[in-house]
Amino acid sequence: MSPQQQRLRDELIAKRIAAAKTHVVKAVFPFTTNHHETLFGGQALSWMDETAFIAATRFSRKSLVTVSSDKVDFTHPIPEGSVVELVADIIHVGRTSLKVEVNIFVEDMYRDGVQKAITGVFSFVAIGDDKRPIPVLDGFDEETGLSN
Ligand SMILES: CC(C)(COP(=O)(O)OP(=O)(O)OC[C@H]1O[C@@H](n2cnc3c(N)ncnc32)[C@H](O)[C@@H]1OP(=O)(O)O)[C@@H](O)C(=O)NCCC(=O)NCCS
């Protein structure tokens, strides 16, 4: 790849990463919690996978499947009756795969201030009609960075 092609590719990736950033806000109602009256871990993982999936889809505009989830750290409990914001960012662009970091921030409903509570990384692979991997960066206008 020539330096010019590399520069265009880097610019395309930067534009797609910016467009892919995803925020999802949820209320922690009783049907999402466990017997400790905190957010159930499996529920948190489901929300994180979904938010990461949306970010990866916005990046690639291709059909994606989750291929792995890396270590997920639960560093702060999320009480029932709080509000959480999930924030997903593309952190690695491979040939056919993407890595997405998701952070969950918790806030009290009746007091200002947020705290990071959970962090994890999810990997996705773009697949074609035959269910085999396809390049994540095909099909974009290199000048505008938009899908064709
Ligand atoms: C996703 C799938 C098509 C990949 O097939 P595969 O034969 O492993 O593909 P490859 O070995 O060619 O790898 C393709 C890419 O995935 C990456 N990859 C494969 N396994 C991975 C893993 N466990 N973790 C992270 N990345 C992985 C490879 O590094 C490669 O990335 P790159 O092209 O960016 O370098 C296949 O594993 C699959 O169908 N898995 C089931 C997915 C699923 O059902 N998910 C749950 C429902 S959404």
Residue 14 has pLDDT above 80, yes or no: yes
Give the atom of ligand 1 at the shortest distance from the alpha carbon of 65: 48
- Chain-centroid distance of CA 148 in Å reads 23
* Percent of all residues in the chain with a pLDDT value above 70, rounded to a whole number: 100
Give the CA distances from residue 108 to residues 27, 80, 111, 123, in Å, rounded to whole numbers and listed in that order: 10, 10, 5, 31
Q: Kindly give the distance from the C-alpha atom of residue 72 to the centroid of ligand 1, in angstroms, as a whole number.
A: 19
Q: Kindly give the distance from the C-alpha atom of residue 5 to the centroid of ligand 1, in angstroms, as a whole number.
A: 27
Q: Which structural domains are found in the chain, ordered by start?
A: 3-126 (3.10.129.10)
Give the atom of ligand 1 at the shortest distance from the alpha carbon of 96: 33
Which region among 28-32, 111-115, 126-130, 139-143 has the lowest average model confidence (pLDDT)?
139-143
pLDDT tens for 58-71 read 999 999 999 999 99
Q: Kindly give the distance from the C-alpha atom of residue 131 to the centroid of ligand 1, in angstroms, as a whole number.
A: 11
